[in-house]
Amino acid sequence: VEGGDHLNRELLYSLLDSYLKNDVVSIQESIVHHVEFTLARSRYKFDNREAYFAAAHSLRDRLIERWNDTQAWLKYKDPKRVYYLSMEFLMGRTFLNALHNLGVIAPYQEALSGLGYEMENVQQAERDAALGNGGLGRLASCFLDSMATLNLPAWGYGIRYEYGMFRQVVSEGFQKEQPDYWLTFGYPWEIERPHVTYPVKFYGHVSVHEEGSDGRQNFVWNAGEEVTAVAYDNPIPGFKTPTCANLRLWAAKPCQEFDLEAFNTGDYVSSIIDKQKAETITSVLYPDDKTFEGKELRLKQQHFMVSATLQDIVRRYKEQHKDFDAFPEKVAMQLNDTHPTLGIPELMRILMDENRLGWTQSWDITTKVFSFTNHTVLPEALEQWPVSLVEKLLPRHMQIIYDINWRFLQELQQNHGISGDKLGNMSIIVDTEYGKMVRMAYLALVASHTVNGVAAMHSKLIKETIFKDFNAIWPEKFQNKTNGVTQRRWLAQCNPPLAKLITDTLGTEAWVTHLDLLQGLREHAEDEEFQQKWAGVKKEAKVKLANMIKDLSGDEVNMEAIFDVQVKRIHEYKRQFMNILSVVLRYDRIKSMSPEERKDVVPRVVIIGGKAAPGYDLAKRIIKLISAVSETVNKDSEVGDLLKVYFVPDYNVSLAEVIIPGSDLNQQISTAGTEASGTSNMKFAMNGSLIIGTMDGANVEIAEEIGEENMFIFGVDAKEVPELREQREYLQVDPQFQHAVNMIKNGHFGWNDYFNPLIDSVTGGRDWYLLANDFNSYLQAQERVDSEWRDKKVWLKKSILSTAGSGKFSSDRTIHEYAEDIWKVEPQPPSPPEGRRE
Ligand code: 475
DSSP state letters, 410-430: HHHHHHH---HHHHHHH-SEE
Q: For this structure, is 683 an active site residue?
A: yes
Q: Which domain holds residue 15?
A: 1-77+94-127
Same domain, yes or no: 460 and 570? no
Choosing from 275, 330, 574, 604, the catalytic residue is: 574
DSSP assignments along 216-239, one per residue: EEEEEEE-SEEEEEEEEEEEEEPT
Residues 442 and 507 reside in one and the same domain: no
679 ligand 1 Cβ < 6 A = yes
β-strand partners of 836: none
| pLDDT of residue 447 exceeding 80 | yes
Establish if 379 belongs to a structural domain: yes
The answer to whether the CB of 740 falls within 8 A of the CB of 746 is no
Helix (H, G, I), strand (E, B) or coil at 736: helix
Determine the pLDDT at residue 451. Answer: 98
Same domain, 427 and 524: no
Distance 90 CA to ligand 1 centre (A): 12
Q: Are residues 378 and 390 in the same domain?
A: yes
Residue 407 lies in a domain: yes
Please compute, for residue 678, the number of CA atoms within 13 A of its CA located in the half-sphere on the CB side. Answer: 33
Indicate whether 411 and 542 sit together in one domain: no
Q: What is the pLDDT of residues 292-324, one digit of tens each?
A: 999 999 999 999 999 999 999 999 999 999 999
Least confident piece of the model among 423-427, 558-562, 772-776, 830-834:
830-834
Q: What is the mean pLDDT of residues 716-724?
A: 98
45 catalytic? Reply is no
> Rounded CA gap, 776 and 753, in Å?
26
CATH number of the CATH domain containing 199: 3.40.50.2000
Region 525-544: what's the mean pLDDT?
A: 98
Q: Please report whether residue 837 resides in a domain.
A: no
In this predicted structure, what is the pLDDT of residue 262? 66
User: Phi and psi dihedrals of 368, rounded to 5?
Assistant: -90, -15
Of the listed ranges 38-52, 742-756, 814-828, the one predicted with least confidence: 38-52
- Determine whether the shortest distance from the Cβ of 381 to ligand 1 is under 6 A: yes
pLDDT of amino acid 5: 40
At residue 270 the predicted structure's pLDDT band, cuts being 50, 70 and 90, is confident
Check if 322 is active-site. Answer: no
Q: Could you give the number of structural domains in the chain?
A: 3
| Predicted confidence (pLDDT) per residue in 637-655, tens digit | 999 999 999 999 999 999 9
Q: Answer whether 459 contacts ligand 1 (Cβ < 6 A).
A: no
Judge whether residue 835 has pLDDT over 60.
no
User: What is the pLDDT confidence band of residue 17, given thresholds at 50, 70 and 90?
Assistant: low
- 86 and 68 share a domain? no
* Chain length of the chain: 838
Does 831 fall in a domain?
no
Contact 590, 573 (CB under 8 A): no
Question: Out of 624, 683, 798, 808, which one is annotated catalytic?
Answer: 683
> Which region among 215-224, 259-268, 542-551, 709-718 has the lowest average model confidence (pLDDT)?
259-268
104 and 249 assigned to the same domain: no
Q: What is the ipTM of this complex?
A: 0.99
In a domain, 823, yes or no: no
**749 by DSSP, 3-state: which?**
coil
Burial environment of residue 765 by CB neighbours within 10 A (0 to 12, 13 to 18, 19 or more): exposed
Task: Out of 330, 375, 463, 538, pick the active-site residue.
Answer: 375
CA of residue 623 to ligand 1 center, whole Å: 20
Specify whether 151 is located in the same domain as 46.
Answer: no
Please provide residue 617's backbone torsions phi and psi, each rounded to the nearest 5 degrees.
-60, -50
Structure confidence at residue 474 (pLDDT): 98
Q: β-pairing, 244-254 with 225-237?
A: antiparallel
Alpha-carbon span 302 to 237, nearest angstrom: 27
pLDDT, one tens digit per residue, over 316-347 is 999 999 999 999 999 999 999 999 999 999 99
Pocket test of ligand 1: the residue of 374, 376, 451, 480 to mutate, having most ligand atoms within 8 Å of its CB, is 376
Domain's final residue, options 454, 482, 510? 482
The pLDDT of residue 4: 39
Would the pLDDT of 2 be above 60?
A: no
Q: If you average pLDDT over every residue of the chain, what do you get?
A: 95
For residues 88 and 104, state if they share a domain.
no
Q: What is the distance in A from the centroid of ligand 1 to the CA of 613?
A: 13
| 561 plus 708 within the same structural domain | yes
Residue 19 has pLDDT above 80, yes or no: no
Residue 447 CA: distances (Å) to CA of 328, 567, 596, 709 = 14, 36, 68, 43
Same domain, residue pair 508 and 526? yes
814 within domain boundaries: no
To test ligand 1's pocket by mutation, which of 88, 166, 290, 571 has the most ligand atoms within 8 angstroms of CB? 290
> Residue 18 — very low, low, confident or very high, per pLDDT cuts 50/70/90?
low
Q: Residues 668, 770: contact at Cβ < 8 Å?
A: no
**DSSP-based three-state secondary structure for 818:** helix
The reply to whether 745 falls in a domain is: yes
Give residue 838's pLDDT band: very low, low, confident or very high (50, 70, 90). very low
Q: What is the DSSP string of 233-268?
A: EEEEEPTTSS-EEEEEEEEEEE-SSTTGGGGGSS-H
- Give the global pTM: 0.97
Angle between helices 105-114 and 48-77 (to 10 degrees): 150
679 is a catalytic site residue: yes
Taking residues 504-509, report their average pLDDT.
98
Task: Average the pLDDT over 500-519 and give the result.
Answer: 98
pLDDT value of position 229: 98
Q: Is residue 763 part of a domain?
A: yes
Q: Using alpha carbons only, what angle is made at residue 132 by residues 572 and 828, rounded to the nearest 5 degrees?
A: 125
**Measured from the CB, is residue 673 less than 6 Å from ligand 1?**
no
The model's pLDDT over 125-177, given as tens digits with 9 standing for 90+, comes to 999 999 999 999 999 999 999 999 999 999 999 999 999 999 999 999 999 99
Same domain, 461 and 542: no
| pLDDT of res. 837 | 44
